[in-house]
């Protein structure tokens, strides 16, 4: 006999304080100090606040759990429901504290949450103590471990560790694995230890202070990072000389006069790429491809490049003051790679630039230099000497790995920048190689220092589980290498200058490598953003915030083939279809990290570039077209989900995030929803039932709209349980009936919240969120059978669910009536308002009036009640018959003649039957919400009598004009 596991309902399957979570997640975006995202970049990280709240709510029992297990299928009495709501509010209070960034290291808050998790765990163990595998699965003294098989930037495993769980993070991508090692695996090994560097050891106060978590480690990263920076300056600092303000420069720029003779540190060199002029007369001249000549557009500090032409040469100077109209466009003619020759005005077309680039004839020309002046940033003119220094450098190493030929995300390849090395200037290459060489050198010093301190001499490497001096030196090396990644992100020739802010736009300002025509070369030795020092500062601060508590592990493995999830709590955030090309993008960092860290992690960095073939991203260029990419994603994601469903701890639900672009919610069938539907298909086909869905936002709704539809700022958290083997099969009709029962209430709850323990879903998230309850119905069945016996596809189910919300299904007149009704009910209002609304809905007041549902006279408009509709109406003779009219005639006839009369109406409007029923649901929900009880009753009657009306319609004689209702 198999003993089934008793599974208490979890809080996340019932309620969540969404507002508090969303607010904290949105706030977190602006946290710059101590956030793990400042350790190393990863694309589309989920907010810690959401990860923390979701794991907590996934592990904590809902107050209703006991009653629900003892009274399956029963409706709970109201007094019990009220006590649950009160208990939920207590749990919500814990979550509301937990999600705040300030409480990230607040032990009192965290302990409260951990205690709640342990309490629920003990309840679950008690419930399952008779289970044959109780010793292994339900040990009340040992919480199950946690696993995220798509760990990425590590937000979720980190929060699991913080909540007291042994955390396992896995990812296919070595860069992601390294980030997770640095966040959860390595810090606990060295937690609570003082720094080993000589300065701290010789400082009595520092030596004797309490070093909690990984603060000692953080201090060492700071110290050795500073050493590296200083050493780099000694070796190559002469290539980053300050600019001396000369008299000549000051002649053209009176504002610089007081500074003559001063040497000012360079923050950035601003370059434009060049090609040979296409004009035969100037074929020998390299002309700039400058998308703007504006250097600073900040009020009071405007500066711009001013070219002056002399025959076949040109000089660039920098002017300050009001920006001339033509400065904005530089030498750009129009969008894309369309420029003009600075000397002749001849258009420079994209094909020409591509050909020049591929032939290796694209160069660079210095436009200006940004320096740190006594009162802020100054923009100085270029000089031949400054330019020469940069151009004469020849680095001894460059990453030769090829950029992918993926025109969607990598735009430089067409222009001849075809390797990762091509994305950097010679000086940038030299700096990055120098820094990575220094890592190798400093490791020995750190090892010596560590051996001389409390760590002790031990040559076991980190990769072999070491925790002694060598492992410590290797650990510091990893965090130092992360600082190199940060320098690379700002210090590539894709990074540009934001003239409105006076700051760098980093390489990965978007999740792609675009082409930058004019770029900003940063000075990593300067005391400014983009410098090595600031990377070290930010990184070490983030290390200090890590929990560094419980032994945890990061592993490189394919989620479609892993067996780490066995018996673990799983929360994960898989790739979003084709949205982010993680493996390709991460090569930008991998090539540098590999150079510095391969001796430490030989197998993680074994391959020349990041492994790609198993990456679960629907990348058309890799799979030979869109369809093949979709098939690959579906098959792989289904396998990955199957692995989770089959292994995860049987008493806990699994939570899965899926981030989507707002644009995807706007079309039910368009290609943009392909990713979401394919993903749902994978989840459902792998044997999961959805038991909850929550839209979680990392940005305020207003900002999502302001940013346009493409921000990956919302995600849906799907709460899943394995589908029981006893799941039934139902028909399409029964499925639709259940949808129609479930969705109005779900929609109502989402838009209104329910009781004081649920917050409403923001309207922008509604159309995605409604898919959850619909798919919960669909997924609980082994299959939904179509009329011909074939199983319904997820795509069809998606469409049917979406239709419930989509008012596009209704004709224009009905849309008008629905909105009018929502605002005014049956009351009158002014013509002007009706007119505006009618236009917005693609109809006119006159037109709606003609259809017979509207009173409009003397500037007054109101909807006609069904009792006012003409009793001699003949549907076969009605040239303008909106669904609104059909439904209200149906109600009129139903009231007078019952089901048989209504059946005749339905038979006559058969083509509109489904929409009529939908409208009735919509109106019922609307009236109920507005407290219009009488109207709600009328619509409800239609809904509850629908089957009978349908039967009457089937039995009704075929309608002939004239004999219908006469």
Ligand X SMILES: C[S@@+](CC[C@H](N)C(=O)[O-])C[C@H]1O[C@@H](n2cnc3c(N)ncnc32)[C@H](O)[C@@H]1O
DSSP class of residue 602? T
Residue 812 Cβ, how far from ligand X at the closest point, in Å? 41
Using DSSP's 3-state secondary structure scheme, residue 961 falls into coil
CA 131, CA 112: separation in Å to the nearest integer?
29
CB-based contact 664:768 (threshold 8 Å): yes
Give the residue with the Cβ less far from ligand X, 24 or 390. Answer: 24
Question: Residue 149 or 399: which CB sits closer to ligand X?
Answer: 149
Given a contact cutoff of 8 angstroms between Cβ atoms, the answer to whether 625 and 578 are in contact is no
In 3D, which of 884, 889, 862 has the Cα closest to residue 873?
Answer: 889
State in angstroms the smallest separation of the CB of 184 from ligand X: 13
Comparing CB distances to ligand X, the nearer of 42 and 688 is: 42
Largest CA distance in the chain: 105
Q: What pairs with residue 286 in β-bridges?
A: 276
How near is the Cβ of 54 to ligand X at its closest, in Å?
Answer: 11
For the bound state, the minimum distance from the C-beta of residue 711 to ligand X, rounded and expressed in Å, comes to 15
Strands (E), 436-485: none
39/528 with CB nearer ligand X: 39
Residue 696, H or E segment: strand 688-697
For ligand X, which is the closer residue by CB, 125 or 654?
Answer: 654
Residue number, 149 or 278, with CB nearest to ligand X: 149
Closest approach, Cβ 614 to ligand X, in A, equals: 5
Which one, 582 or 921, has the nearer CB to ligand X? 582
Q: Where are the beta strands (DSSP E) in 1-60?
A: none
- The Cα 7–Cα 579 span in angstroms is 36
Closer Cβ to ligand X, 149 or 187, answer by number: 149
Per-residue tokens: 103:
């409480």
d(CA 22, CA 692): 17
Structure token digits, residue 725:
């083997």
Pick 30 or 394: Cβ nearer ligand X: 30
Q: Write out the residues near ligand X by the rule CB under 6 A.
A: 42, 44-46, 149-150, 152-153, 155-156, 171-173, 176, 558-560, 573-575, 582, 614-616
Count of beta carbons in the 10 Å neighbourhood of residue 564: 19
Least Å distance between CB 686 and ligand X? 14
Residue among 292 and 715 whose Cβ is closer to ligand X? 715
- What's the CA gap between 759 and 739, in Å, rounded? 23
Q: Which is nearer to ligand X, 156 or 719 (CB)?
A: 156
Beta strand extents in 177-330 (DSSP E only): 243-244, 263-264, 266-276, 286-289, 294-296, 303-310, 313-320
Smallest separation (angstroms) from ligand X to the CB of 617: 6
Q: Which is nearer to ligand X, 170 or 475 (CB)?
A: 170
Residue 292 or residue 565: which is nearer to ligand X going by CB? 565
Name the E strands within 540-687.
553-556, 569-572, 654-660
Instruction: Kindly report the three-state secondary structure assignment for every residue of 875-898.
Output: HHHCCCCCHHHHHHHHHHHHHHHH
Distances (CA, A) of 92 to 88, 116, 748: 6, 12, 21
How near is the Cβ of 170 to ligand X at its closest, in Å?
A: 6
Whichever of 559 and 887 has its CB closer to ligand X, that residue is 559
Q: Residue 669's CB: how many other CB atoms inside 10 A?
A: 12
In the complex, what is the shortest distance from the CB of residue 151 to ligand X, in angstroms, rounded to a whole number?
6
Listed in sequence order, the DSSP H helices in 581-714 are 582-597, 620-623, 626-647, 674-685, 701-706
Q: What is the C-alpha separation between 373 and 899, in angstroms, rounded?
A: 85
Q: Which is nearer to ligand X, 268 or 617 (CB)?
A: 617
Shortest distance in whole angstroms from residue 587 CB to ligand X: 12
Centre a 10 Å sphere on the Cβ of residue 961 and count the other Cβ atoms it contains: 9
Q: Please give the Cα distance from 329 to 912 (Å, whole number).
A: 56
Minimum gap (Å) between residue 215 Cβ and ligand X: 24
Structure tokens at 550: 């419980």
Nearest distance, CB of residue 491 and ligand X, angstroms: 23
The three-class DSSP label of residue 232 is helix
Comparing C-alpha atoms, which of 950, 946, 928 is closest to residue 937? 928
SS3 375: coil
Q: 829: which residues sit within 8 A by CB, 6+ positions away?
A: 823, 860, 861, 862
The whole-angstrom separation of Cα 917 and Cα 926 is 14
| 505/496 Cα distance (integer angstroms) | 5
List, in sequence order, every beta strand (DSSP E) within 746-853: 783-785, 829-830
Closest separation in Å from C-beta 42 to ligand X: 5
What value, to the nearest 5°, has the Cα angle with vertex 109 and ends 104 and 110?
A: 65
Nearer to ligand X, 475 or 572 (CB): 572
Phi, psi (degrees; rounded to nearest 5) at 487: -65, -40
Q: Please state the closest distance from residue 579 (CB atom) to ligand X, in A.
A: 9
State in angstroms the smallest separation of the CB of 451 from ligand X: 36
If the CB atoms of residues 45 and 568 are measured against ligand X, the closer one turns out to be: 45
66: which 2 tokens? 């006991």
CB of 824 to ligand X, least distance (A): 46
Phi and psi at residue 850, in whole multiples of 5°?
-55, -35
As measured in angstroms, the least distance from the Cβ of 153 to ligand X is: 3
Nearer to ligand X, 636 or 687 (CB): 636
Please check whether residue 249 is in contact with residue 541, taking contact to mean a CB–CB distance below 8 angstroms.
no
Q: Which residues pair with 729 in a beta bridge?
A: 783
C-alpha 618/C-alpha 580 separation (Å) is 9
The pairing of beta strand 729-731 with beta strand 243-244:
unpaired
State the minimum distance, in angstroms, from the CB of residue 616 to ligand X.
4
Please state, in angstroms and rounded to a whole number, the distance separating the CA atoms of residues 306 and 615.
48
């Amino acid at each position: 006999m198999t003993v089934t596991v008793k599974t208490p309902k979890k809080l996340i399957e019932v309620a969540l304080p969404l507002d508090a979570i969303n607010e904290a997640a949105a706030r977190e975006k602006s946290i710059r100090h101590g956030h793990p995202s400042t350790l190393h970049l990863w694309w589309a990280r989920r907010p810690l606040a959401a990860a923390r709240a979701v794991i907590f709510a996934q592990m904590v029992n809902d107050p209703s759990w006991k009653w629900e297990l003892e009274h399956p299928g029963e409706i709970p009495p109201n007094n019990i429901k009220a006590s649950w709501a009160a208990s939920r509010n207590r749990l919500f209070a814990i979550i509301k504290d937990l999600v705040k960034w300030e409480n990230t290291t607040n032990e009192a808050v965290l302990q409260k949450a951990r205690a709640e998790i342990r309490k629920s765990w003990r309840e679950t163990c008690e419930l399952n103590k008779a289970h044959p595998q109780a010793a292994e699965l339900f040990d009340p003294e040992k919480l199950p471990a946690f696993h995220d098989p798509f760990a990425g930037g590590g937000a979720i495993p980190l929060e699991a560790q913080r909540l007291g769980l042994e955390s396992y993070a896995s990812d296919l991508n070595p860069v992601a694995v390294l980030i997770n090692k640095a966040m959860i695996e390595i810090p606990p090994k060295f937690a609570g230890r003082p720094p080993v560097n000589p300065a701290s050891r010789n400082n009595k106060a520092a030596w004797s202070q309490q070093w909690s978590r990984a603060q000692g480690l953080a201090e060492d990263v700071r110290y050795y990072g500073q050493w590296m920076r200083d050493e780099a300056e000694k070796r190559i600092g002469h290539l980053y000389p300050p600019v001396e303000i000369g008299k000549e420069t000051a002649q053209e720029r009176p504002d610089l006069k007081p500074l003559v003779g001063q040497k000012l540190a360079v923050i950035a060199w601003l370059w434009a790429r060049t090609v040979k002029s296409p004009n035969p007369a100037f074929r020998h001249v390299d002309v700039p491809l400058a998308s703007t000549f504006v250097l600073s557009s900040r009020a009071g500090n405007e500066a711009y490049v001013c070219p002056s032409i002399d025959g076949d040469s040109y000089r660039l100077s920098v002017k300050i003051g009001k920006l001339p109209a033509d400065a904005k466009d530089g030498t750009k003619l129009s969008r894309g790679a369309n420029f003009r020759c600075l000397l002749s005005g001849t258009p420079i077309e994209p094909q020409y630039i591509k050909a020049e680039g591929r032939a290796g004839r694209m160069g660079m020309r210095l436009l200006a230099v940004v320096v740190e002046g006594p009162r802020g940033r100054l923009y100085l003119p270029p000089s031949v000497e400054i330019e020469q220094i940069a151009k004469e450098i020849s680095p001894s190493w460059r990453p030769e790995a090829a950029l992918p030929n993926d025109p969607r995300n990598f735009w430089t390849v067409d222009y001849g920048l075809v390797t990762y090395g091509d994305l950097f200037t010679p000086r940038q290459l030299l700096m990055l190689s120098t820094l990575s060489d220094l890592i190798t050198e400093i490791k020995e010093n750190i090892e010596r220092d560590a051996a001389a301190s409390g760590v002790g001499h031990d040559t076991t490497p980190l990769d072999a589980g070491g925790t002694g001096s060598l492992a410590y030196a290797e650990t510091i090396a990893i965090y130092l290498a992360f600082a190199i990644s940060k320098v690379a992100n700002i210090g590539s020739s894709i990074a540009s200058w934001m003239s409105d802010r006076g700051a760098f736009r980093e390489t990965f300002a978007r999740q792609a490598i675009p082409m930058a025509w004019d770029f900003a070369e940063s000075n990593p030795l300067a005391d400014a953003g983009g410098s090595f020092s600031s990377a070290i500062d930010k990184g070490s601060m983030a290390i200090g915030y890590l929990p560094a508590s419980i032994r945890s592990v990061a592993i490189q493995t394919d989620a479609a083939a892993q067996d780490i999830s066995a018996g673990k709590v799983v929360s994960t955030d898989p790739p979003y279809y084709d949205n982010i090309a993680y493996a390709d993008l991460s090569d930008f960092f991998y090539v540098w990290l590999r150079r510095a860290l391969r001796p430490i992690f030989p197998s993680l960095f074994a391959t020349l570039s990041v492994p790609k073939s198993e990456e679960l991203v629907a990348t058309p260029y890799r799979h030979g077209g869109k369809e093949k990419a979709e098939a690959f994603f579906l098959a792989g994601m289904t396998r990955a989900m199957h692995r989770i469903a089959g292994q995860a701890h049987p008493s806990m639900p699994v939570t899965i995030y899926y981030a989507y672009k707002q644009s995807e919610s706007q079309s039910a069938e368009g290609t943009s929803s392909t990713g979401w539907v394919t993903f749902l298909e994978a989840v459902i086909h792998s044997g999961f039932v959805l038991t909850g869905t929550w839209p979680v936002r990392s940005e305020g709704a207003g900002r999502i709209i302001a940013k346009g539809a493409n921000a990956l700022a919302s995600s849906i958290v799907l709460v899943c349980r394995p589908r029981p083997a006893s799941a039934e099969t139902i028909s399409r009709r029964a499925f639709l009936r259940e949808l129609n029962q479930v969705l109005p209430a779900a929609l109502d709850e989402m838009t209104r919240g329910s009781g004081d323990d649920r917050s409403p879903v923001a309207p922008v998230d509604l159309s995605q969120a409604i898919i959850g309850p619909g798919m919960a119905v669909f997924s609980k069945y082994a299959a939904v059978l179509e009329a011909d016996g074939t199983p319904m596809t997820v795509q069809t189910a998606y469409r049917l669910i979406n239709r419930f919300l989509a008012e596009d299904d209704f004709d224009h007149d009905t849309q008008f009536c629905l909105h009018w009704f929502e605002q005014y009910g049956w009351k009158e209002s002014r013509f002007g308002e009706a007119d505006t609304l009618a236009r917005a809905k693609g109809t006119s007041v006159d037109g709606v009036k003609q259809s017979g549902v509207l009173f409009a006279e003397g500037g007054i408009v109101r909807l006609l009640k069904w009792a006012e509709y003409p009793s001699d109406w003949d549907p076969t003779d009605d040239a303008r018959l909106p669904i609104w009219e059909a439904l209200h005639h149906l109600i009129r006839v139903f009231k007078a003649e019952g089901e048989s009369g209504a059946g005749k109406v339905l038979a006559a409007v058969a083509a509109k039957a489904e929409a009529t029923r939908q409208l009735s649901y919509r109106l019922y929900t609307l009236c109920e919400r507005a407290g219009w009880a009488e109207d709600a009753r009328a619509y409800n009657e239609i809904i509850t009598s629908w089957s009978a009306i349908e039967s009457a319609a089937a039995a009704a004689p075929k309608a002939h004009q004239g004999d219908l209702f006469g």
